[in-house]
Amino acid sequence: MRILNGIAGAPGVVSGKVLYYEKKVGSSAETDIDTAVKKCIDKVKKMYNKALADLGEDKAKIFFAYEMLLGDQMFIGPIKEAIAGGDEPEKAVADVSESMSGVLMKKENEYLRQRADDIRNVGNMLREIICGADDDFSFPEGDDKYIISAQELTPVDTMLFDHSRLLGFVTKEGGATSHTVILAKSIGIPAVVGVSELDRSSDDADAYLDGYAGEFVINPDAEAKSVYDKRVLDEQELLKSLDTIKKNDAYTKDGERIKVAVNIGKPSDLKCSEDSKFDGVGLFRSEFLYSSSKEKPPVKQQCEAYKKAADLVYPKSVTIRTLDVGGDKQIEYFHMPKEENPFLGNRGIRLCLSNEGVFSDQLKALLMAGYGKRLKIMLPMVTRIEEITRTRELLAEVKEELEREGTPAADDIELGIMIETPASAIMSEVLAKHCDFFSIGTNDLVQYIMSADRGNSAVEKVYNPFNPAVLKMIYKVIQDGADAGIEVSVCGDLAANPDFTEILLGMGLKKFSVPLPMLNRIKKKISDINLSSAKDVANEVLKAEDEYEVEKIIRRG
Ligand code: PEP
Ligand code: MG
């Protein structure tokens, strides 16, 4: 028996045979670069259509990005130059993609780091085609399902598999937010990444894959079998119960109605919600409208996107977060000056208020889209009252302008704020008087309270939501919101983490907003919790002195 540990990627526990996936790559160039690029474009187009049909537009866009890259002379040009200078095509592709992705990997900007991943994946595909790699993969005869084990799986590889025969993925390469993990989540299978020591020797072995614990168990002995069989059974029970849960609203075990909304990046994300019941959209990150085009999106285009989301969930509401860029999220045409400390710089509402023209356009689109719909506006990165009052003034100006034009606009649109900075959390009692709702953005709140960059693995021990400093802040905000009679939700990752459901409920939280793949799991978790005992656990946690004590209390249950 071998138990290999890795990073928990996508949730689930399965047992089955292992299939070691490896492409047969020739050793020398069989195809010239132009033919290889053409073949590669055909391949990613096919993948785009398959992903669009199976997984929706959001996942398919990965392949669209690949196609763009293959047509980009900034990428293909230097490869051709190196070949003209005498390099073997395979070497030229490897050198150029490695050096370009290496430069981008060092950037602070998350978007650019993801592009590095794209360049590496496209480079690998091109090299495989050049070397005549055989990727006509097919599963062994029969209907058996397999746990795929591989050194690395590109999004293209994952799309090549017949999904009905997949139990899960385990790979050496890739992090918790890699495309393979994202795709595994949308297919609904577990994934464990970052497992060293994967090789062909496990081919056809019996194994367990636990996507919660990040464990891959090969040739289990009798003792391990009884432990992991129980986990597989529990998971099957959970999945069965999710089928019932998805048709219902969320209630705690003792009958308290809790709202569970979803986080989206664009209206088409809602396509994946199928027949699940949820309480509207708690966070619509409007950045995609700005980052997916080369210039700022026209009011009409924005209005259509907001309206579409509002229509899809009506009569439930959609909360649209106004543009939240700066920090780790850059938009080229904004020409944001380089800052020494971008996370403490001109980002979120600050940036919007220093570009009032752009901001007013967004407010205009929101007021137009909100007419006759249930749409709310939410401001990111708020630290001061003035940011809310200035937004209200701009809203009034835009409303007047629309009235003059005779364009219908929403009346009394609700205006809320994200609580994701220490200043807003400390002053939540006062801020509650100036806005209609709070949504706690725990991703940023944790980083600012703990003074630890959310994307820096060197300080991931400090960036710890179990820390009492974070939990005390969240409790305070929930209480201040309740005292002021305004709605409080959590829309950061903590809301989607089942480890925190009980304490958030115990602290008095009545609304969660989570990514769609976690919707029914969180509804299920809520249904297993008794509010009165949740309050006891929350009280205990709030007395804890450090994150280890908190974790112990949470894990005990
Ligand atoms: C957050 O900070 O918790 C949040 C939801 O916003 P984002 O992750 O988009 O910064
Ligand atoms: Mg945030």
User: pLDDT digits over 149-169, tens only?
Assistant: 998 887 777 777 888 899 999
CATH number at residue 51: 1.10.274.10
Nearest Cα neighbor of 93 from 128, 141, 53 is: 128
Please give the model's pTM, rounded to 2 decimal places: 0.74
Residue 108: pLDDT over 60: no
Query: Residue 8's pLDDT is what?
Result: 86
Do residues 547 and 439 both lie within one domain?
Answer: yes
Is the residue at 340 inside a domain? no
Please tell me the predicted confidence (pLDDT) of residue 292.
67
3-state secondary structure of 230: helix
* CA 361/CA 370 separation, integer angstroms: 14
Residue ranges with strand state E in 301-413: 318-321, 375-379
- The total number of structural domains in the chain stands at 3
Domain membership flag for residue 192:
yes
User: What is the DSSP secondary-structure string of 53-79?
Assistant: HHH-HHHHHHHHHHHHHHT-HHHHHHH
**Regarding beta strands 257-264 and 281-285, do their DSSP bridges make them parallel or antiparallel, or are they unpaired?**
parallel
**Shortest-distance atom of ligand 1 to CA 440:** 3
Task: Give, using CA atoms, the residue closest to atom 4 of ligand 1.
Answer: 441
**CA of 269 relative to ligand 1 center, distance in Å:** 17
Please determine, for residue 433, whether its predicted confidence score (pLDDT) is greater than 60.
yes
Which residue, 240, 268, 293, sits at the end of a domain? 240
Range of the domain at 84: 33-130
Query: Once rounded to an integer, what is the mean pLDDT over residues 255-283?
Result: 90
Tell me which of 383 and 35 has the higher pLDDT. Answer: 383
pLDDT at 46 exceeding the cut of 80: yes
The atom of ligand 1 lying closest to the CA of 494 is: 3
Task: Report the mean per-residue pLDDT for the chain.
Answer: 90
Minimal-distance CA residue to ligand 1 atom 9: 285
Q: So which residues are the catalytic ones?
A: 179, 491
Among 194, 211, 240, identify where a domain stops. 240
Q: Is 326 in the pocket of ligand 1 (CB under 6 A)?
A: no
Tell me, using a 6 A CB cutoff, whether residue 285 lines ligand 1: yes
- Distances in Å between the Cα of 227 and the Cα atoms of 1, 202, 240 are 14, 21, 20
Q: pLDDT at position 59, please? A: 73
Q: Is the pLDDT of residue 303 over 90?
A: yes
Distance 204 CA to ligand 1 centre (A): 42
Instruction: Classify residue 322: in a domain, yes or no.
Output: no
Ligand 1 pocket, residue 444 CB under 6 Å: yes
* pLDDT tens per residue, range 482-492: 999 999 999 99
Tell me whether residue 140 is in a domain: yes
What CATH number does the domain containing 472 carry? 3.20.20.60
Q: Are residues 482 and 554 in the same domain?
A: yes
Q: Do 153 and 19 share a domain, yes or no?
A: yes
441 lines ligand 1 (CB under 6 A): yes
Q: Are residues 115 and 153 in the same domain?
A: no
Q: Which of 117-126, 361-370, 426-435 has the weakest average pLDDT?
A: 117-126
**Statement to judge: residues 161 and 74 lie in one domain:** no
Residue 378 is assigned to a structural domain of this protein: no
In a domain, 87, yes or no: yes
Q: Are residues 57 and 195 in the same domain?
A: no
Ligand 1, atom nearest to 380 Cα: 6
Ligand 1 binding pocket mutation candidate from 287, 418, 424, 500 (most atoms within 8 A of CB): 418
Provide mean pLDDT across the span 108-117. Answer: 66
- Residue 58 CA to ligand 1 center (angstroms) comes to 19
Of the residues 320, 473, 491, which should be mutated to test ligand 1's pocket, given the most ligand atoms within 8 Å of the CB? Answer: 491
Phi-psi bin for 454: left (phi > 0), alpha (psi -120 to 50), beta? alpha
pLDDT given for residue 44 in this prediction: 86
The end-to-end CA distance of the chain, in Å, is: 30
Q: Which of 111, 343, 417, 444 to mutate to test the pocket of ligand 1 (most atoms within 8 A of CB)?
A: 444
The DSSP letter of residue 326 is B
Which tops the pLDDT comparison, 231 or 515? Answer: 231
**Residues 17-36 pLDDT 10s:** 999 998 766 666 677 898 88
Do both 15 and 43 map to the same domain? no
